[in-house]
Amino acid sequence: MKITWFLGLLLIASAVTAQSLYPHDEEVQIINGEEHVQTPFGLMLRECVHNVPSGTYIQESEDGSIFLTNDEKNFAKRVQKSEKCQKANPSIKLEQWIDNGGWDLPAKTPLSKFEAYYYVPNTPQTTNNQWLYYFIGSQNNDGSGPGVSIIQPVLSYFKGWYFQSWNCCPDGQAFNSPSIFNITPHDQVYGSVQVKDSQVTIISQNKLGEQSTLTVDRNGRNFTWIDATLEIYGISNCTDYPKGRMTYSQMNVTLSDGTIALPEWDNTFGASECNGQTFIQGPKTISIYHNVIPE
């Protein structure tokens, strides 16, 4: 009862400000009679994408259902196992990642913590319903645990800037926390992923300190690969990209044995359209440029 009432208030609040906490959910696309929404994992069946309050703990159970709990927000939900979602599991396609630095962590020392400041780029000159996703993130690319999982604080642009924590795709389901707004070009926003005991916490925070977080049960996964990326959908003109740079800076990587690592980033994707360039400036700094020739 309380939850419905609370969600009702949220809906009213977002209608008034015209800013949805879950912008993808306002842009439903019907494909083959099924509702789909845009996510950092491509278009997904809407029923496989779950909008949860900040601070929600996501726990897989052995029977394929997922428990969502958030005592502080008085929120609890069981997501039933869904063969439909399992079948449509995007299992982390990289086709839409266009600019990227990636690094395999040293063997036997998976990730403990990865944090970065994101320098928010200029707002694109044109808005053609493009989606831009800038994120640092990590994956269990070593086959540990039940399937690949990605954890990422995602700075997004869709008709405006917002910041959300995402996890995909235990049992084909994706989870996202409410958007943080008050993000303007040239801000430094903060993102982190941290593995502690059996839990992984994903933090998205703006310069005012407003946070949106998710915590995910580690479930035997070792996070063995990290990346700093730009992913795009629906670009129809170079002016749909920001002009100039976006920068991941002061990146800190801590390994499971407590040592600080200095990543040797690999720019596997190379140059991209519209003068796209990924500059590995050092272990702690990566810049992504579009629409300018960098000096």
Mark residues 69-108: x for contact with ligand NAG by CB under 6 A, - for none. ---------------------------------------x
* Three-state helix/strand/coil letters over 189-250: EEEEEEEECCEEEEEEECCCCCEEEEEEECCCCCCCEEEEEEEEECCCCHHHCCCEEEEEEE
- Nearest distance in Å: CB 254, ligand NAG: 10
d(CA 71, CA 57): 9
Cis (ω within 30 of 0) for the bond into 169?
yes
Site for ligand NAG in 213-242 (CB under 6 A): 220, 222, 237, 239
CA distance linking residue 99 with residue 27, whole number of Å:
25
Task: Report the candidate in 160, 102, 156 with the shortest Cα–Cα distance to residue 134.
Answer: 156
115 binds ligand NAG (CB under 6 A): yes
Give, for 285, the enclosing helix (H) or strand (E): strand 285-290
Binding mask 27-66 for ligand NAG (x = CB under 6 A): ----------------------------------------
Among residue numbers 124 through 143, which ones bind ligand NAG (CB under 6 A)?
125-126, 142
> Which CB sits closer to ligand NAG, 35 or 142?
142
- The two three-digit tokens of residue 130, written as one number: 């493009």
C-alpha dihedral (89, 150, 100, 233), degrees to nearest 10: 40
Nearer to ligand NAG, 59 or 239 (CB): 239
Question: Which member of 64, 110, 124, 153 binds ligand NAG (CB under 6 A)?
Answer: 110
Name which of 19 and 239 has its Cβ closer to ligand NAG. 239
Q: Which residues of this chain interact with ligand NAG, rule CB under 6 A?
A: 108, 110, 115-117, 125-126, 142, 144, 190, 220, 222, 237, 239, 250, 252, 256
